[in-house]
Structure 1
Amino acid sequence: MNVIIPREHGGWAMVIVPFLLGLGIGGFNFFQILAFVGTILGYIGITPLLMMFRQKKWDKELLMWMSIYFGVAFLFWLFPIIKFPGLILMALSIIPFLLINLYFAKIRNERSVWNDFFAISGMSIVGIMAFYIGTGEWNGIVSLLWFTNVLYFMGSVFHVKSFIREKNNHPFKWWSRAYHLLILLFPLAVQLPMLSLSFVPSAIKSWVIPLDVQFKPIQTGIIEIVNSFLFVVITIFVFRNYLL
């Protein structure tokens, strides 16, 4: 019997970074500890579910692990939900995105950029939930927080694909570079210029690294970890000092 643990480093970042942003911007309390553990367990529980959809059959061992992870995750989320009932609607809003990801798993096309987009969109809601637990408020900031997460991680997807799966696709690499310029301009277009700072490290990374460089997956992973750290620190600073 093997313990089921997700191996995709990018997936871990896409669930942890939004939560850290919500916590850092909204403030910390005890309920966020419970919610964070519940979030991690829930994310792990999705792995056996995706595996069963890839195999197109129900597996007893995978069902067992999924039930354990989801069951314990629910227990950790129970007290935050009792304290903040609005979390129920936020959790339900993740389901459509998960269903789309399950569809991509079923047709074995999980490397699609669209699959990444829907996965990122769903997991970014976790940041909204962490913010709500910290403030008890639901306002315009949550939409901006969600959108900032989605813009950042889509840039990460394009960058990583350009050096691994699309390493020989130069038009794709130039599209990745163009995207990183566009996300710098978006905050200016909506009159939130300071928010551009959140995307500066990503843009520098995209344009400074030569197109013909060949990275090993672990090297690309380290670069993304450093970039994610900078994104979290800068974004929390910008939101707390200029947007709240």
Structure 2
Amino acid sequence: MKQQRTIVIPHEHGGWAMVSVPFLLGMMAGSPNYMHALLFVAWLCLYLSSYPFLQAVKRSANRSYYIQWGIGYGIVGLICLIPSLLYSPELFFFGIPLVLLLLVNIWHAKAKSERAIVNDLCAIMIFAIGGAAAYILGDGTWDHKMGMIVLFSFIYFTGTALFVKSVFREKNNVRWHGYSRIYHIVMLIVPFVAGYPLMALAYAFAIVRALLLAGKSIRPMKVGIIEIVGVVLFLIFSVVALS
């Protein structure tokens, strides 16, 4: 089969928000510095490299082409990562959970079950850990706030995954709509239990949209706009709450 000659980038639009928002939250919750630019480029390239590698795992067509793109992104990512590792060697510790979670994604890709909720949760946790890495790079420590960056990011984007499924793949699944609404109600309780009540404001928009729109027929573009508004509000209120 003739290989395609187009740029290989992830098609999941939500991935762009997940790769950037937890990182920005971790950076702003700590002390932003010039090293964050290099770390973000490394983080973005490693994310970009994962997509073609996962495509190569699950399909035989154009496999070598995907691998070439994955290696290219990976090399750029590793080059940009080296200065950050030298500046903050503690970043090495994030490698262990990231590799373990990525192995789960690889297994699901090979089994062609990428839409499984467990696969989504592992991917979301990977992105949430990126926020912790950005926090550590900004002179943060392995403290309660770092844990909250991971927790609050994970909770938000898990809610996003449930909501998106409730208006697309599970649109006609009444039980799934209930799961999504219950989850979002519980989201409102977590900030108070964790000691960050202002975080409830970061979840407010997401909760309202899940309660009102789960199971509705919504155009993809409209869902995209809703998610952009929600993630921007989440980032703004999260930075305020964790400052």
TM over 0.5: yes
- How many residue pairs get aligned? The number is 239
User: 2:123 aligned to 119, 140, 160, which one?
Assistant: 119
User: 1:12 aligned to 12, 16, 29, which one?
Assistant: 16
Q: Distance in 2 between matches of 1:144 and 1:92?
A: 20
1:79 aligns with 2:74: no
Corresponding residue number in structure 1 for 2:238 = 235
Percent identical pairs in the alignment equals: 31
Corresponding residue number in structure 1 for 2:205 = 201
1:172 aligns with 2:176: yes
Question: Is the Cα–Cα contact under 8 Å of residues 34 and 80 in structure 1 kept in the other structure?
Answer: yes
Question: Is the Cα–Cα contact under 8 Å of residues 56 and 106 in structure 1 kept in the other structure?
Answer: no
Q: Which runs of 5 or more residues in structure 2 are unaligned?
A: none
Q: Which runs of 5 or more residues in structure 1 are unaligned?
A: none
Question: Is the Cα–Cα contact under 8 Å of residues 131 and 142 in structure 1 kept in the other structure?
Answer: yes
Q: Deviations over 1:183-225 (max 9, x none)?
A: 111222344323322211111111233x453111121111111
Corresponding residue number in structure 2 for 1:217 = 220
Q: Distance in 1 between matches of 2:196 and 2:238?
A: 12
Q: Aligned AA for 2:113?
A: N
Give the deviation of 1:25 after TM superposition: 1.1
Q: Deviations over 1:4-23 (max 9, x none)?
A: 11111011111111111111
Question: Is the Cα–Cα contact under 8 Å of residues 94 and 123 in structure 1 kept in the other structure?
Answer: no
What SS is found at the alignment partner of 2:138?
Answer: helix
RMSD: 1.6
Corresponding residue number in structure 2 for 1:160 = 164
Give the deviation of 1:26 after TM superposition: 1.0
Q: Aligned AA for 1:18?
A: P
Corresponding residue number in structure 1 for 2:94 = 90
Q: Aligned AA for 1:228?
A: V
Question: Is the Cα–Cα contact under 8 Å of residues 84 and 136 in structure 1 kept in the other structure?
Answer: no
Q: Distance in 1 between matches of 2:139 and 2:222?
A: 38
Question: Is the Cα–Cα contact under 8 Å of residues 166 and 215 in structure 2 kept in the other structure?
Answer: no
What SS is found at the alignment partner of 1:193?
Answer: coil
What SS is found at the alignment partner of 2:161?
Answer: helix
Q: Distance in 1 between matches of 2:231 and 2:180?
A: 17
Corresponding residue number in structure 1 for 2:45 = 41
Q: Aligned AA for 1:133?
A: L
